[in-house]
Amino acid sequence: HVSVMLDEIINLSNPEKGGIFVDCTFGGGGLSKKILQFSNTKVIAFDRDKIILNFAKDLKKKYPTRFSFFQNKFSQIHNIVNDQLADVIIFDLGLSSIQLNDLKRGFSFKSEQALDMSMGLTNLSAEDVVNNYSEKKLKLIIKILGEEKDASKIAKNIIKSRATKKITRANQLAEIINKSKKRNYSQKINPSTKTFQALRIFVNKEITELVMGIANATKILRPGGKIVVISF
């Protein structure tokens, strides 16, 4: 796992000046590691994914007094970082390669395993959504969160497929989506990409988390501090 736009974030954040940094999406820890190389920094990191804990433990051993980690959603930032003000708060949005490459979690349309898509600390899975939500709700999720123009046909075919057999695997859903879309040989992305994105965002309430995360980050930001958001 390689942190995206690492140099740009460092240039924006100025860790050489020291201060308190909040890494809201720890992932493989690349950003936190880089910031901690500057001796006057302190990093408070968050990640909702329990698979990240081993990466965080390794960094805690190396920097016991300057690094702390919380397995929590970043929307709770104000409740955890409530006794100090941060100089820089960083959000790196989306799915990490660590999550995508773990085929057991069902984020990838190549996965033959459970259709889960949970990033952690959720009560819902993609399997729950595709097997229990109405055609209208599925269409809205896929159309709005995935910007998928064939949302109506995909939702209709999900309903039709689940009537005969429960949809339990990621590649099973991908097959339904592929049959719902016209073949476009000039298209570079997989036909399932937008629908999988929509389900992932919905299952993990990513939009709500982001809005609440940024709003609550302002409560613990030092005057003149920075909030950096990476999205692509």
pLDDT at 182: 79
pLDDT at 110: 82
CB 181 within 8 A of CB 194: no
pTM for the whole thing?
0.90
pLDDT at 185: 59
Half-sphere exposure of 43 (CA within 13 A, CB side): 28
Q: What is the pLDDT along the chain (232 residues), one digit of tens a residue?
A: 456 689 999 999 999 999 999 999 999 999 999 999 999 999 999 999 998 998 999 999 999 999 999 999 999 999 999 888 999 999 999 877 777 777 678 788 888 888 999 999 999 999 999 999 999 999 999 999 999 999 999 999 999 999 999 999 999 999 999 999 977 756 778 999 999 999 999 999 999 999 999 999 999 999 999 999 998 7
pLDDT digits (tens, 9 = 90+) for 133-181: 999 999 999 999 999 999 999 999 999 999 999 999 999 999 999 999 9
pLDDT at 1: 47
pLDDT at 57: 95
Nearest Cα neighbor of 47 from 33, 31, 27 is: 27
Exposure class string for 167-193: b at 16+ Cβ within 10 A, else e: bebbbbbbebbeebbeeeeeeeeebbb
